């Protein structure tokens, strides 16, 4: 009953389960519920924030999935993924748990310094492929179409060369107006860059999001105190992301790592985490983006049909 309940409603709390079981005549503790769920491979996690999808977005994501779901792994290894990200000096990733005694909450070692308005931030543009990270640069001014094209001109091709991309490699960026502007499209066409058609409202499909998440955590752990230090640390941590020798890992290795993980954690195309030896492990880029779109799209459509029936 416990596993069935949380599978049906993932937001159910342990307290809710205790109350439900008591009404059914069974007395259990929260610890028992936690142990039961843990044995089933379930753990309490913070819900990921994802874009609110309208029906038109769902259809576009499903179209993307159907077109690419069966693409061979080699095709995905020949994609350069890109994105922009804002890193805050004192962002939410700076949150830490500490051990302290009663009435010691204001001890300097047990607090995190904060400033008004987050203390500032920096905007970064970066790219990567299955072979490793490409360039990461700071965008010091408000980005417009002309600046974006300049960033690509100075950094995209050098990244492709450094990553030793195969002939016919594909460039991915989202549908930000600067990316889809007529001048940008014309520039990409003249440079003979192949661009991956991308569904709107789909940042969660871009595997670089996993690298951004890891970057934020690593930067927060080093606690930069000013913007200059923030930029330096971002560059240092990005440079630590490992490059794989041949740009891919065996299917058996990837499969072994994915087994035992909750389904929702398997959606990301790339995961970066600490290995048992303290070194980072970079998972290969596969067609998980398409699979994510397909699974989430089907779920959303099923949910929409269910709501329509209730009405």
Same domain, 28 and 76: no
Q: Are residues 78 and 171 in the same domain?
A: yes
User: Does residue 166 sit in the same domain as residue 79?
Assistant: yes
> Residues 82-96: pLDDT tens digits?
999 999 887 665 555
Domain coverage including residue 151: 72-244
**pLDDT at residue 280, as a whole number:** 37
DSSP SS3 for 72: coil
Domain-located, residue 274: no
Same domain membership, residue 205 and residue 81: yes
In angstroms, rounded to a whole number, what is the distance separating the alpha carbons of residues 22 and 33? 13
Model confidence pLDDT, tens digit, residues 141-183: 899 999 999 999 999 999 999 999 999 999 999 999 999 999 9
In a domain? residue 159: yes
Is 212 inside a domain boundary?
yes
26: in domain: yes
Domain boundary among 206, 223, 244: 244
Average confidence (pLDDT) over 59-72: 82
Distance of alpha carbon 267 from the chain centroid: 9
One domain for residues 29 and 82 = no
Domain check: are 26 and 82 in the same one?
Answer: no
HSE-CB at 46 with a 13 A cutoff on CA atoms is 3
Taking the model in full, what pTM does it have?
Answer: 0.67
Q: For residues 248 and 74, what is the distance between their CA atoms, to the nearest angstrom? A: 9
* Tokens of residue 56, six digits: 């038109």
109 and 193 both lie in a single domain: yes
- Could you tell me the pLDDT band of residue 73, with boundaries at 50, 70 and 90? confident
Domain presence at residue 278 = no
The answer on 76 and 203 residing in a single domain is yes
CATH number at 87 reads: 3.30.420.10
Mean residue pLDDT of the chain comes to 75
Residue 2's CB: how many other CB atoms inside 10 A?
19
Residues 101 and 32 in one domain: no
Do residues 26 and 135 both lie within one domain? no
User: What whole-number distance in Å separates Cα of residue 98 and Cα of residue 108?
Assistant: 12
Say whether pLDDT at 260 is over 90.
no
Residues 108 and 232 in one domain: yes
Residue at which a domain ends, from 214, 244, 274: 244
| One domain for residues 124 and 193 | yes
Residue where the block lists tokens 């490992």? 242
C-alpha span between 16 and 20 (Å, rounded): 6
pLDDT band per the 50, 70, 90 thresholds, residue 134: very high
Residues in the chain: 311
Q: Is residue 176 domain-resident?
A: yes
**Encoded tokens for 88:** 């805050």
Average pLDDT over residues 74-87: 92
Tally of domains within the chain = 2
Mapped onto helix, strand or coil, the DSSP state of residue 225 is coil
Any domain includes 307: no
Q: Answer whether residue 65 is part of any domain.
A: no
More confident residue, 171 or 240: 171
């Amino acid at each position: 009953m416990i596993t069935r309940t949380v599978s049906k409603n993932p937001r159910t709390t342990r307290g809710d389960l205790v109350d439900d079981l008591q009404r059914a005549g069974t007395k259990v503790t929260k610890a028992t519920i936690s142990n039961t769920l843990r044995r089933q491979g379930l753990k309490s996690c913070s819900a990921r924030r994802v874009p609110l999808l309208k029906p038109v977005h769902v259809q576009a994501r499903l179209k993307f999935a159907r077109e690419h779901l069966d693409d061979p792994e080699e095709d995905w290894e020949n994609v350069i993924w890109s994105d922009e990200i804002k890193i805050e000096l004192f962002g939410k990733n700076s949150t830490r748990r500490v051990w302290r005694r009663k009435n010691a909450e204001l001890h300097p070692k047990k607090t995190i310094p904060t400033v008004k308005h987050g203390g500032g931030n920096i905007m970064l543009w970066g790219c990567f492929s299955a072979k490793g990270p490409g360039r990461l640069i700071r965008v010091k001014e408000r980005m417009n179409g002309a600046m974006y094209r300049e960033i690509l001109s100075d950094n995209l091709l050098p990244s492709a060369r450094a990553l030793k991309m195969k002939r016919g490699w594909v460039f991915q960026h989202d549908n930000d107006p600067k990316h889809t502007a007529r001048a940008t499209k014309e520039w990409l066409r003249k440079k003979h860059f192949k661009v991956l058609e991308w569904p709107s409202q789909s940042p969660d499909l871009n595997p670089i999001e996993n690298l951004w998440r890891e970057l934020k955590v690593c930067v927060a752990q080093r606690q930069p105190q000013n913007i200059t230090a923030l930029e330096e640390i971002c560059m240092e941590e990005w440079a630590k992301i490992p490059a794989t020798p041949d740009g891919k890992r065996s299917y058996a290795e990837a499969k072994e790592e994915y087994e035992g993980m909750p389904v929702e954690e398997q959606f990301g195309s790339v995961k970066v985490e600490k290995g048992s030896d303290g070194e980072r492990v970079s998972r290969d880029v596969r067609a998980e983006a398409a699979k994510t779109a397909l699974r989430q799209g089907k779920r959303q459509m099923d949910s929409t049909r269910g709501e329509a029936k209730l009405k």
